Structure formats: C-alpha cells, structure tokens
Amino acid sequence: MIGEQIQKLTEDLPQDVTLVAVSKTKPNSAIEEAYSVGHRDFGENKVQELCQKAEELPNDIRWHMIGHLQRNKVKYIAPFVHLIHGVDSERLLTEINKQGAKNNRVIDVLIQLHIAEESSKFGFSYEEAEALFTNQNQFPNVRIVGLMGMATFTEDKTHIKREFETLSTFYNTWKAQKDLSVLSMGMSNDYPIAIASGSNMIRVGSLIFGRRN
C-alpha cells in the first residue's frame, strides 16, 4: 500500500520536485516499505524520533528535519542530517553553525519565512531574512540552500495560493543572487497549489502513510 502510494505520487510529480515522505509517528516498517520502492528522502519533526530511526534504518536515507528545532537538540542531528527545513531564528542558525564545525561539515538549511497570515507559525519576516543573508559569512559551517514556508491551515484555496505565491516571489527575487535551489512548501492537503506556485520540494505525510493519531 505505502509503496504503491508513493510510486503513484512520484509519477505524477514534475521532474524537478523532490518528495520528502513525512514519516513522523510512523513505525520503521512503514519507512521500509517506502524504502523498498526506492524512496530515500524522509522527514521527521522530533529529534529523538529522528535519531532513533536513523540509527535503526539504512544509512543511505536522507533525513530531513522539518519541524521546529530547539537549539539544545541540534547536536544530536548535526552529524548526519541531510537538510534542516525550519530555521526560524538567528540563534538557531548560530547553534547549527557551531555543531557543523564540531562535526567538520557544512550543514544545509532552509530559512523559514513567516507567510501564514495566522499568527502562530514560526519564521522570519522578509526583512529579517534579508539581514540574515547579508550576515551569511558569519556562518561558514551552514549553507542556506533555500526557503521553507507553511500556509495557514484553511480550506480556502485562494488564501493558501496567495501565501505560497508570496513565498515564491521572495524565492525568485533571491534565488540567483544568494544561490538558492530549494523552495520547500506544500503538504498533503495543499501540495498541488504549492507546486503550481513554484515549489520544488514538498513534505507529504498522511497522504502516503495514512492518518496520524
């Protein structure tokens, strides 16, 4: 089931769109099913769960940290994480840089922009992100490869589209100058709108693995 679902989803995606299969709360067996049809990009939002799965599952899996990340937990994922999606403060970036240096690696990250009109979502404003890009050389062990955003949780497609297009506009403005290549937006219920708005990385969980409890 999971294998078929992921193949079907992948076939329908444009070539340049990367699918991150969000496996949070799901057992290793579910990930193994996706892995067995060739899938390698998986996303988790809890550090402890991510580390445990990474230890138990094949080491060619590319692990994406997709949720809000606490600074004191960066050290646990720094040795192996493939991409950190939700960098939402300069203090977090500073810590990732420090742990990158300790592990002798440059860690790829996405800057989370606050695009949702609802107030609860994490992220930088446009101006804050701009300032961060300007100070990028302070973080030699971090590579900012793109942007990430989450739309408001709503049924209103026009609203979602507007938020995704806002993020896409920032991305296109900065892409060449800041050497960005990843625009991470879109989840199970809004990924077609995200792709239509220019996303090239979607984070899909429930549509692949079924509902979470």
Residues near ligand PLP (CB under 6 A) are: 22, 24, 45, 66-67, 187-189, 203-207
Return the beta strands (E) in 29-179 as ranges: 41-44, 62-65, 83-87, 107-112, 142-148
Question: In the complex, what is the shortest distance from the CB of residue 85 to ligand PLP, in angstroms, rounded to a whole number?
Answer: 7
Give the tokens for residue 96.
Answer: 């990732």
Question: In the complex, what is the shortest distance from the CB of residue 207 to ligand PLP, in angstroms, rounded to a whole number?
Answer: 6
Question: In the complex, what is the shortest distance from the CB of residue 8 to ligand PLP, in angstroms, rounded to a whole number?
Answer: 15
Indicate the residue whose CB is closest to ligand PLP: 205
- Of 22 and 193, the one with the shorter C-beta distance to ligand PLP is 22
- Of 20 and 96, the one with the shorter C-beta distance to ligand PLP is 20
**H or E, element range at 92:** helix 90-102
Burial 152-187 (b: 16+ CB within 10 A, else e): beeeeeeebbbbbebbbebbeebeeebebebbbbbb
Angle at 58 between CA 17 and CA 29, to 5 degrees: 85
Q: Which residues are within 8 A (CB) of 88 and not within 5 positions of it... i.e. 6 or more apart?
A: 68, 112, 122, 123, 124
- Of 45 and 166, the one with the shorter C-beta distance to ligand PLP is 45
- Of 61 and 204, the one with the shorter C-beta distance to ligand PLP is 204
Question: In the complex, what is the shortest distance from the CB of residue 3 to ligand PLP, in angstroms, rounded to a whole number?
Answer: 18
- Of 24 and 159, the one with the shorter C-beta distance to ligand PLP is 24
Question: In the complex, what is the shortest distance from the CB of residue 40 to ligand PLP, in angstroms, rounded to a whole number?
Answer: 17
Contact, 75 vs 105, CB < 8 A? no
Question: In the complex, what is the shortest distance from the CB of residue 29 to ligand PLP, in angstroms, rounded to a whole number?
Answer: 18
Residue 25: half-sphere exposure toward Cβ, Cα within 13 Å: 9
Return the beta strands (E) in the chain as ranges: 18-22, 41-44, 62-65, 83-87, 107-112, 142-148, 182-184, 201-204
- Of 49 and 130, the one with the shorter C-beta distance to ligand PLP is 49
